[in-house]
Chains A and B, each alone.
Chain A
């Protein structure tokens, strides 16, 4: 069937049905070994015209779908991804639907898809989604939006989502959710922590603590079970959420968050790090990620000692309970991470940076124990 014929035949079908038909065509086109470029192009055209209705038959841009149609599309997508197809194919289609140049345009639908997938919950969609995340990487802006939308849906709009989400630690849901959540938290850590009165982040925190303590392998799950990807793709190394979560509980005291949950989270994370299997090449924690909190601690310490003389400065820093707690947590985390040998990158540089931190008893021990010159 030629390109035009395919399109013409599809144009004879009304919207929701045509999307369904288009999806099956698309999967036929790309789920094969080494699809040709023209096939790929056709698949992308079909997506734009028949699945997402972004352009009309002459290639003119159309306004975004109205919510009802969007929902219909989501329904179709669900049907497709829950269908009886191999996981690799699903992931392939998912990746081509939501990545690349059109990712920004479709991010709204993607976030809704994932959100509904969490709500339903739909395992196959979530598996595909985590594959996508792993491939696209956490620095993308779209990703941030996605995280934000999901946090909003499940922690802001539905305050009691914790109960619903808590019972599923072994399910793919928390994994992908955790990743998105951590992403969001890393991006908005200050916002999240500072908004003390806001009950929603608390429910978020509760959920995270629950997951981390219930499943000590959760944080490195992405690295443990790599997604099934289409052949020929360059598999991206996925990062773990350990460093991000560590930052969260290390910085909590200096933002005056004294909830018991942070301590629990800290403990859970330490257990997680201890459970990282040894012997491999260390790949769980990047030294750059681990060094992130230093900046915030400096800033806080500087604000403490402003307009004070030298002698008083030291005393002041030592006596500040929040700062010391934060430093203690940090030191514990670094020590555990180093001892389990899961930090990769320039460890010497990291230690150098860490030695600049305000005075702390535990830190001095940790630094001394890990001096590289021994």
Chain B
């Protein structure tokens, strides 16, 4: 047993020893052997004899080196000949073998093996990278190098082993790991950078911090900027960080920030000289890094505003002398700064606002006057230089400073905020920046202009807007903007559309107050129309508005704007003067505009009626009249629409209250769910009933007693006022075309439209609306309609005014024949049903009946439908009994009207175009007047004076001439009919 064991032991002993021998011989090339076998032997030695690890690993070094060389040679052959030589199979197999064994060591016993293996692999990587640097690849860029080596099996394996080791160690022994990495890096820099970069991306945090501090230490060694620029170590730091920046921007930012912040903390007690020097050099170092790498610059600038608040700037002030010394002169430092700012591709807006803040430093700090002054001056200089540089590059079409422009463009929102700053310098700087950007980028220009326009609160803001839009750097002829009315048109287009969308979605615009925006538009337009602003001579505002008139008027017409905004709108539209006939600038709006505009302005009229402020209201009325005059003269459609809208809204919408309409206030119907049975049960408990009683409560029928109707009405003055203006507005719609004789004249055709409209609205029927009056009997057929019309008149007093308007402009009243007929018919019915109640003349119903009767006859007389003496009836009628009134209405008025169809044919046109019915010619025959005369004679006591007027004092010559009309007809016309208007 023992001997067996010994033998076994001896065999193993022999094995290990012979392995060792084979290995030594193989490595020293004393015996030629298969590299794969040799590797296997080496690995088995490594497993059994840890003491031999150094030798084994150094043998592996040669293996990896050979493999890398093969790879590099293969690439070189490929470059020169174009064919890829086959890769050695041995290399692959050997490396795989080694990889798996080493990895198993690392995973199995990380703490023991990882430091050994990682040190070895890093060192080897360093050697390989240095050895083959400059071979097989032309570019020395880090990414290309990384690409090259990651394609190599050997180095890729090494990197993999390294990262595995580091990932095992990184938590327990960070410092040692990174030190090993950086030591190798320093030794083999810059060829080793790709390894650091790659490893760095596996452990970004640690590597970045360490690389930075390593770079800073190196930077401190340099006495001047020029020296610093040429340091190879800095270049590799930049390379590594630049590589890491692509994927670990945040970590780098944090590390940089940490470095920066720690440099600010000056602790004299703890810092030794070296650290103090480092702290001083930190910011030049950071500046230098940013100068070398745009990625780092971006990382630094991304949140510079928060990194360097003003307090920190004051703190930094103490270092400035040192920096200036370092850079040679303050100008050199300034140049570097300006260059950096121009290059930065992120956070430019923050830099700008930081500079601006510095310029207004005294607002924040008042510690040291001189210091503040110096900081202010420098900040201003830097800002000025930056702006000049951009200006220069834009004017000369250089593409060098597009970094900052891109950055600013991406952060345009921040610039916008500055734009609204009350400080002139700040806002103008922002405006300038926007102009710079807008030079090449109209979309941003429009966005900014839109922002400014929407948020402008002061004239200063609007002045900035005008400046931006009209600056020389802005190419105003750029298509397609030019054809569409300029940039401002695009701004308005966006704003209007957004506004409409917002309304559609939200239905209420409480969140945002747009009134200021509309007011801004008005101010701009006023400026333009005042012709005092040079920059607005090109009428950009008008053109822009005209371009967007459809949406603008749509907003005006359809959205529920508040009154203030509506006034602004109206004023804008009035100033805009649509349609324009000025020579050169003539503008004829499209149909949609006309329609929207008309609807809008009509609505606005009613809004004005509700306006409390007298002055604004009057202004609004005038505005409405002016606009409607222009519009209706321009377009028939507008007129028809305007009239229709005016009449309809005034009569039937809720606005009718404004014109004295009586509204039945609906008393909300309280629905009682109480069951009758329950009510009775309740009652039977309270009322002591005899046993056999069966008295029941019958309940309430319907809603109980009819409530008296209460009217809601405005003050009489207001109603009269409103009515006057409505009539005025309607008249304005009916005026003739401007710049002609009939400019102030109400055209007959137009007023006929009004009367037709009235018929359309008032008569509920489509039949029997013709002009002729039928037999009186026939009114029984139409009684229902007649009563409807009558009720409408009594509830809407405005109708009388409209009738008067129509009556004045003869012969338009003829078309309202049906209405008058209906009224007359109802009057006849009512008077006849009144009977003898005429004695009680003071009752309410009598009064209103009499009033209505007088009004009807008045309207008929006004419209010359009733010639004298019938027209005088209104004066006498109040003295008569009801049956007399009935008789007069029937025999005189109805019969006359029935026999003389009220048609325009009754009227003649005089030379002035005035329609006129000659009272002498049209004197009714006695059939129609007899009843009246007899009744008047009967009541001669009371109506004597009127009788004389009506029947006796007929102008003599008139009578004589009437008798001889055949012979002197032409003269008669001259004398009695063609009376001049002013008379």
Contacts and interface: CB of A to CB of B under 8 A. Distances in A.
Q: Do A and B bind each other?
A: yes
Chain B, interface size category, equals: 20 to 34
Contacts of B979: none
Interface in B6-26: 9, 13, 16-17, 20-21, 23-24
Interface stretch (A70-78, A174-182, A304-312, A349-357): A70-78
B28 A16 contact: yes
A120 B49 CA distance: 8
B21 A75 contact: yes
B480 interface: no
Given A66-B58, A121-B13, A71 B112 contact: no
Contacts of A45: none
B55 A78 contact: no
Interface string B284-315: 00000000000000000000000000000000
B75 interface: no
A287 B39 CA distance: 53
B57 interface: yes
Contacts of B51: 111-112, 115-116, 119, 149, 153
Contact of B112 (A121, A149, A157): A157
Contacts of B514: none
A119 B24 contact: no
B48 interface: yes
B503 interface: no
Contacts of B13: 120-122
A115 to B, nearest CB: 3
Given A75-B20, A157-B109, A167-B5, A68 B49 contact: no
Interface in B67-126: 108-109, 111-113
A78 B17 CA distance: 9
Nearest to B23: A71
A7 interface: no
Nearest to A158: B50
Given A115-B49, A156-B109, A68 B28 contact: yes
Contacts of B907: none
Contacts of A156: 109, 111-112
A168 B13 CA distance: 13
Contact of B55 (A71, A121, A152): A71
B57 A67 contact: yes
B59 interface: yes
A70 B51 CA distance: 11
A154 B53 CA distance: 13
What is the interface of chain B mostly: helix, strand, loop, or mixed? helix
B17 A70 contact: no
A167 to B, nearest CB: 7
A159 interface: yes
A120 B50 contact: no
Given A16-B28, A67-B54, A75-B24, A119 B49 contact: yes
Contacts of B24: 68, 71-72, 75
A115 B54 CA distance: 13
Chain A, interface size category, equals: 20 to 34
Given A111-B51, A156-B112, A157-B109, A120 B57 contact: no
A157 to B, nearest CB: 4
Interface in A111-138: 111-112, 115-116, 119-122
What is the interface of chain A mostly: helix, strand, loop, or mixed? helix
A74, A115, A120 interface centre (most CB from chain B within 10 Å): A120
A96 interface: no
A227 interface: no
Contact of B50 (A66, A122, A154, A167): A154
Contacts of B27: 68, 71
Nearest to B48: A119
A122 B49 CA distance: 13
B58 A67 contact: yes
B52 interface: yes
Contacts of A122: 13, 17
A70 B49 CA distance: 14
A120 B17 contact: yes
A91 interface: no
A112 B52 contact: yes
B109 A68 contact: no
A213 interface: no
A160 to B, nearest CB: 10
A81 to B, nearest CB: 12
A347 B17 CA distance: 49
Contacts of A154: 50
Given A78-B17, A120-B16, A122-B13, A70 B55 contact: yes
A67 B49 contact: no
A268 to B, nearest CB: 23
A74 B111 CA distance: 28
Interface string B714-728: 000000000000000
Contacts of A324: none
Contacts of A167: 5
Given A156-B112, A157-B109, A116 B28 contact: no
B5, B48, B51, B52 interface centre (most CB from chain A within 10 Å): B51
Interface in B557-588: none
A322 B108 CA distance: 34
Interface string A317-357: 00000000000000000000000000000000000000000
A152 B16 contact: no
Contacts of A74: 52
A59 to B, nearest CB: 27
A116 B58 contact: no
A161 B27 CA distance: 27
A158 to B, nearest CB: 6
A75 B50 CA distance: 15
B102 to A, nearest CB: 13
A200 interface: yes
Contacts of A115: 49-51
A167 B13 CA distance: 14
Interface in A146-195: 149, 152-154, 156-159, 167-168
A15 to B, nearest CB: 9
A68 B48 contact: no
B112 A200 contact: yes
Contact of A71 (B5, B48, B52, B111): B52
A235 to B, nearest CB: 29
B28 A72 contact: yes
Contact of A116 (B5, B21, B52, B59): B52
B165 to A, nearest CB: 14
Interface string B53-66: 11111110000000
Contacts of B17: 78, 120, 122
Interface string B862-906: 000000000000000000000000000000000000000000000
B112 A119 contact: no
Contacts of A78: 17, 20
B23, B48, B56, B113 interface centre (most CB from chain A within 10 Å): B48
A66 B58 CA distance: 8
A283 B53 CA distance: 40
Interface string A58-90: 000000001110111011001000000000000
Given A75-B24, A122-B13, A153-B50, A159 B55 contact: no
A71 B21 CA distance: 9
22 contacts: A67-B54, A68-B24, A68-B55, A68-B59, A70-B55, A74-B52, A75-B20, A75-B21, A111-B51, A115-B50, A115-B51, A116-B52, A120-B13, A120-B16, A121-B13, A122-B13, A152-B112, A156-B109, A156-B111, A157-B109, A157-B112, A158-B47
* CB-CB nearest 8 A-B residue pairs: A115-B51, A67-B54, A71-B55, A67-B55, A153-B50, A112-B51, A157-B50, A119-B49
Interface of B: 5, 9, 13, 16-17, 20-21, 23-24, 27-28, 47-59, 108-109, 111-113
Given A120-B13, A153-B51, A158-B50, 5 more contacts: A16-B28, A75-B24, A115-B49, A119-B49, A153-B50
